[in-house]
């Protein structure tokens, strides 16, 4: 390094920014169907090899080998014997289950905003679901052509006017 080049100053991270883990790092999604685990039909179930998948996907993976039901792991191909109750009998992945449960509780405890409180809800809601008061201050767009066409044969000339 020459004298002209000084040390490059490091940019400090802003103290107010909180780094939150992404959904992928928390492993709350099934890698077969890419759906989020939930507390109903997509419970996180663990195979004997330690890999976790949703209960709905594991129900479709069973296979018969030597007159016994097995679930082959989609990641490592290790076979797990299917319990008598089916995929429901497999162990829950407790870490993923608690993560899904905590996420569900956070959604329930956070205050829900009404559609009139959020600006983005106006765009996201279908027109039929919007209350009449949502349209009170909306100006109607003028048509791009004259109200009475200047040429009855073609509307092309009126389109550009």
Q: Which of 16, 52, 17, 22 has its CA nearest to residue 37?
A: 52
Per-residue pLDDT at 53: 93
**pLDDT tier, 54 (very low <50, low <70, confident <90, very high otherwise):** very high
Per-residue pLDDT at 130: 60
Q: What is the pLDDT of residues 85-121, one digit of tens each?
A: 888 889 888 888 888 888 888 888 876 655 555 555 5
**Is 3.30.40.10 the CATH number for 23-106?**
yes
Average pLDDT over residues 66-80: 91
Domain chopping of the chain, boundaries: 23-106
Per-residue pLDDT at 23: 46
């Amino acid at each position: 390094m020459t004298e002209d080049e000084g040390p490059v100053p490091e940019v400090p991270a802003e103290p107010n920014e909180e780094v939150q883990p992404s959904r992928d790092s928390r492993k709350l999604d099934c890698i077969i169907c890419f759906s989020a685990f939930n507390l109903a039909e997509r419970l996180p179930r663990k195979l004997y090899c330690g890999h976790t998948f949703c209960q709905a996907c594991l129900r479709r993976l069973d296979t018969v080998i030597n007159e016994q039901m097995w679930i082959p792991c989609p990641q490592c191909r290790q076979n797990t014997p299917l319990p008598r109750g089916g995929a429901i009998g497999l162990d829950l992945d407790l870490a993923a289950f608690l993560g899904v449960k905590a996420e569900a509780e956070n959604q329930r405890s956070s205050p829900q905003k009404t559609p009139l409180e959020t600006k983005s809800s106006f765009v996201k809601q279908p027109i039929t679901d919007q209350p009449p008061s949502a349209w009170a201050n909306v100006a109607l767009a003028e048509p791009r052509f004259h109200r009475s066409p200047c040429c009855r044969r073609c509307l092309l000339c009126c389109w550009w006017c």
